[in-house]
Amino acid sequence: TSTPTSSASKSGSWSSFLKSMASFSGDLTSMTAPPFILSSTSLVEYSAYWGENPELFVAPTFEADPELRALSVLKWFLATLRRQYTSRNEKLGSEKKPLNPFLGELFLGVWKSEDPKVGDTRLISEQVSHHPPVTAYALINEKNGVRLEGYNGQKAGFSRMTISVTQIGHALLHLDQWDEDYLITLPSLHIEGLVTGSPFVELNKKSYIYSSTGYTATVDYSGRGWLSGKKNSFTATLQKDTASKPAYTISGQWSGDFVVKDANKKDIESYTSNSHPTTPLTLAPIEAQSPLESRKAWSKVAEALAAGDYEATSAEKSKIENEQRELRKKEKEEGKEWQRRYFSAVETDPRFEAIASKVGFSAETEKTGGYFWVFDGEKTKRADAEAAAPAQAPVAEQVVAE
């Protein structure tokens, strides 16, 4: 008899998956993919890709000139792309289908930089909505007064053997020292390689970084561009207001090398994303984690997947889904709503509006279920106090996320 991982049954289940995609609804949570393409990582963890280069994250605040700060923000953003969009391929061999986070699921950690100037950067990621799925996140570097807040949802479609994904949401980067905000929009993407069973992400269209100082960075993703013929190609420009030409242009491959040129097209810097070291995220050990924390909550599913036991995988998954269904039912009966721990839903976000209204960026496409999600400092203080309360708990060893 054939094992579930034999190549015959693999290709059989893959082709029936592709067939089933013809009637795909656009909600990524409703997609049922064959077990071998499932990852044991929940989507709530993906917020961590923003912070794996803490030294680049805080670098803008050390620049005295607003133009150089905007350039520094753009460089950090470009440097995050490789980990955001190719790390599953690098680690697991192909893009995988992440676990669907449950409402209230958390992913918490800290990047401890070896450079004392950089210090610690804290990560808070929370699943703030399950239907539609929305993840909110905050990255906070207290020492340098640098904070990123954002949220992310997806809309997907399937045609001509590709899955096209639009990201809903944005991120706001704040620099305390300069009282500056940067509104970061997110690229569209599509999944290539479906036919051959080795899916990977390619970015397309454009994304923008609008600064409250009047600078706009435009990143144009050309994919396997006709210019270079290389995948993951892009060209980015940084321009002040209505200036006639860009102050800087950056081009190359976001997963490989890119070059920064000044207004006179002179090379001033090059960056090699695949040799740039990343700082691992430090997490509390599983035993010390709260039941809402992703690694703890999904640990049995992850174990079953790692053992290749797909029956146990789906049994363990169903357990979590049923518990969640029960919780929602109970809340409904009691007329209560799940309390988000670190974020709040708001109808307007003044920091977003201040920039968006100037550049004509629409707020409506940014909302999920009618709301923006913003980081809530008060809630966070309370959550931190609660977490610190069990003073008699042993001081736990910390572990480093893979």
* Residue in this structure with the two tokens 């239907």, named with its chain if needed: 131
Span interacting with ligand CLR, options 95-103, 220-228, 342-350, 377-385, rule CB under 6 A: 95-103
121, 141, 154, 211: which one contacts ligand CLR (CB under 6 A)? 154
Residue 28 in contact with ligand CLR, rule: CB under 6 A: yes
Burial 256-291 (b: 16+ CB within 10 A, else e): bebebbeeeeeeeeebebeeeeebebebbeeebbee
Q: Which is nearer to ligand CLR, 157 or 285 (CB)?
A: 157
Residue 97 in contact with ligand CLR, rule: CB under 6 A: yes
Element (H, E) at 399: strand 399-400
Q: State how far the Cα of 201 lies from the Cα of 94, in Å rounded to an integer.
A: 9
Residue 191 in contact with ligand CLR, rule: CB under 6 A: yes
Q: Which is nearer to ligand CLR, 95 or 349 (CB)?
A: 95
Please count the residues of this chain forming the interface with ligand CLR, following the rule CB under 6 A: 19
Q: Which is nearer to ligand CLR, 202 or 260 (CB)?
A: 202
Residue 18 in contact with ligand CLR, rule: CB under 6 A: no
- Inter-residue contact 265 to 248 (CB < 8 Å): no
Q: What is the dihedral of CA 296, 298, 303, 309, to 10 degrees?
A: 160
Residue 84 in contact with ligand CLR, rule: CB under 6 A: yes
- Inter-residue contact 44 to 105 (CB < 8 Å): yes
Binding mask 351-390 for ligand CLR (x = CB under 6 A): ----------------------------------------
Element (H, E) at 240: strand 233-240
Cβ of residue 214: shortest distance to ligand CLR, in angstroms?
27
Angle at 150 between CA 66 and CA 99, to 5 degrees: 140
| Pick from 280, 282, 287: nearest CA to 395 | 287
Span interacting with ligand CLR, options 96-104, 220-228, 251-259, 333-341, rule CB under 6 A: 96-104
Dihedrals phi, psi of 288, to nearest 5 degrees: -90, -5
Q: Which is nearer to ligand CLR, 96 or 296 (CB)?
A: 96
59, 81, 165, 238: which one contacts ligand CLR (CB under 6 A)? 165
| Pick from 98, 113, 174: nearest CA to 138 | 174
Q: Which is nearer to ligand CLR, 97 or 147 (CB)?
A: 97
Cβ of residue 67: shortest distance to ligand CLR, in angstroms?
27
Q: State how far the Cα of 362 lies from the Cα of 56, in Å rounded to an integer.
A: 29
Residue 95 in contact with ligand CLR, rule: CB under 6 A: yes
77, 85, 151, 210: which one contacts ligand CLR (CB under 6 A)? 85
Element (H, E) at 127: strand 120-129
Q: Which residues bind ligand CLR (CB under 6 A)?
A: 28, 33, 37, 46, 49, 84-85, 95-98, 152, 154, 163, 165, 167, 191, 199, 201
